[in-house]
């Protein structure tokens, strides 16, 4: 298996009005094209845990995911509040999968908790390997999210992850297109190793993109998310979703909804019914902010993937509007673009801010072609690699910044302070005219 993986790795390597302050100009900055895939090998014994990452798993709980080549390693995490002192041991479940000639390692998912907020824990996976540590998110404001989509695993991805690691955050949000494995399963392993240093210290919450769709069409009739679902188990069960492709969770005073662009979304679909019920149950006194993450943008002035999200927008935008969604993040288009509050293609102070952030470092290159003149709905747009930061200050105020990632340092190219539309009596009146 290792020889096959190595061969594929080498083959793939050579394949290759609430706004108070903002920068509103189109940037003239240009970025060189992406580079070859950055392949990360294991280099440890088969029993050694690898590809360690964290995710939130319900109130006061975290899920630890890791992979071992040795199928006899236990699905077990030891953890505590002091280095090398593990007071608690939790056991979990494991899964393996096959894809053509590829056989995965043993993928372990272990749920730990209850955990205290804003607390550092030290942990070890499977009784072997090195010690890791993480800090739990806070229970109250402020809370900060790092956001980057369409990551891939190029040198630009490495730069993006490096820039993110230089400034602390509480939760990572990834709006789809993770590894860009595109059926080449060893790239999933390389991707997991690449992000381990960061993903083992803070929870990573992800949703699927088109590059998570995988199908061995010779033997499978339908597309699937086999690798994604096996490797990136999200809290869908904890949020009463029947699919790993859409779910929700809370972080401090923020309710985050992750929806699926590549599963059914019409008004008769399971996803639509789940979303409507999830939004209905939100207590905005307990979670004053509402954020949505998906892959395909509903609003864009870029010529790439033009109109692909329109059917989904027509199906679901009314739910967003009536639920007082504050911010919507998407990826897919390899650029950065921030919109002013909008609803049904018109400026609306009660609508969400839509942000496309599909510029994490993918191998396909950037989407440079925009429609001109620029729509007045578009507040800022630029095609270069980078990441974003959403800091929720309190129940009304938030700050968003987009950081262009130069080679050795990060540059804030766009930022804006804003307030939640629900704080406006006008918006509350308008929204309560309709029902979810």
Report the catalytic residues.
305
Helix locations, 134-233, DSSP H: 155-165, 186-199, 226-231
Number of Cβ atoms within 10 Å of the Cβ of 127: 13
Query: Residues 6 or more apart from 162 whose CB is under 8 A from it?
Result: none
The residue written with tokens 């540059």 in the block is 411
Dihedral angle over CA of 149, 152, 153, 154, nearest 10: -90
Structural contact between residues 357 and 388, judged by C-beta atoms closer than 8 angstroms: yes
Helix axes 155-165, 186-199, angle to 10 degrees: 20
The DSSP letter of residue 203 is B
The strand ranges marked E within 18-127 are 50-56, 62-68, 76-80, 88-91, 93-95, 98-99, 102-103, 106-112, 120-125
What tokens does 405 get? Answer: 């990632």
CA dist 330 and 357 (Å) reads: 6
CA dist 103 and 152 (Å) reads: 22
The residue written with tokens 């999830």 in the block is 278
Print burial letters for 35-74: b (CB count within 10 Å at least 16), e (below 16): eebbbbebeeeeebbbbbbbbbbbeebbbbbbbbbeeebb
CA dist 88 and 71 (Å) reads: 23
The DSSP letter of residue 83 is T
What tokens does 258 get? Answer: 């992750």
DSSP for 58-80, written as a single string:
STT-EEEEEEES-TTS-SEEEEE
Phi-psi region of 421 (alpha: psi -120 to 50; beta: other; left: phi over 0): alpha
Query: Residues 6 or more apart from 275 whose CB is under 8 A from it?
Result: 246, 257, 259, 316, 319
């Amino acid at each position: 298996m290792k020889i096959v993986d190595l061969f594929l790795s080498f083959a793939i390597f050579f394949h290759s009005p609430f706004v108070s302050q903002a920068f509103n100009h189109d940037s003239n900055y240009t970025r060189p094209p992406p580079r070859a895939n950055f392949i990360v090998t294991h280099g440890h014994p088969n029993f050694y845990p690898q590809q360690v990452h964290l995710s939130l798993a319900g109130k006061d709980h975290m899920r630890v995911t890791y992979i071992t080549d040795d199928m006899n390693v236990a699905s077990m995490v030891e953890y505590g509040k002091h280095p090398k002192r593990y007071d608690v041991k939790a056991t979990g479940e494991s899964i393996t999968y096959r894809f053509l000639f590829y056989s995965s390692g043993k993928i372990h998912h272990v749920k730990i908790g209850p955990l205290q907020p804003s607390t550092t824990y030290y942990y070890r996976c499977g009784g072997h390997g090195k010690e890791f540590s993480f800090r739990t998110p806070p229970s109250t404001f402020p809370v900060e999210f790092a956001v980057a989509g369409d990551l891939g695993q190029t040198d630009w991805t490495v730069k993006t992850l490096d820039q993110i690691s230089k400034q602390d955050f509480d939760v990572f949000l990834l709006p789809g297109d993770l590894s860009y494995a595109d059926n080449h399963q060893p790239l999933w392993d390389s991707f997991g190793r690449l992000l381990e240093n960061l993903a083992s210290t803070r929870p990573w919450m992800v949703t699927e993109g088109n590059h998570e769709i995988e199908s061995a069409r010779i033997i499978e009739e339908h597309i699937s998310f086999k690798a994604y679902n096996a490797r990136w188990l999200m809290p869908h069960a904890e949020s009463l979703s029947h699919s790993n492709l859409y779910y929700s969770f809370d972080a401090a005073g923020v309710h985050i909804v992750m929806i699926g662009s590549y599963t059914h979304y019409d008004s008769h679909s399971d996803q639509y019914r789940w979303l409507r019920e999830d939004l209905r149950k939100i207590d905005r006194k307990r979670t004053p902010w509402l954020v949505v993450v998906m892959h395909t943008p509903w609003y864009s002035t870029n010529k790439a993937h033009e109109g692909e999200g329109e059917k989904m927008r027509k199906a679901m935008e009314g739910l967003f509007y009536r639920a007082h969604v504050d911010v919507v993040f998407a990826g897919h288009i390899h650029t950065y673009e921030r919109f002013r509050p909008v609803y049904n293609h018109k400026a609306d102070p009660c609508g969400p801010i839509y942000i496309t952030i599909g510029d994490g470092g993918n191998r396909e290159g950037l989407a440079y072609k925009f429609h001109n003149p620029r729509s007045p709905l578009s507040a800022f747009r630029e095609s270069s690699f980078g990441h974003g930061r959403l800091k929720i200050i309190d129940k009304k105020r938030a700050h968003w910044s987009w950081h262009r990632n130069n080679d050795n340092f990060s540059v804030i190219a766009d930022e804006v302070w804003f307030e939640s539309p629900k704080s406006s009596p006008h918006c509350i009146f308008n929204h309560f005219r309709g029902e979810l």
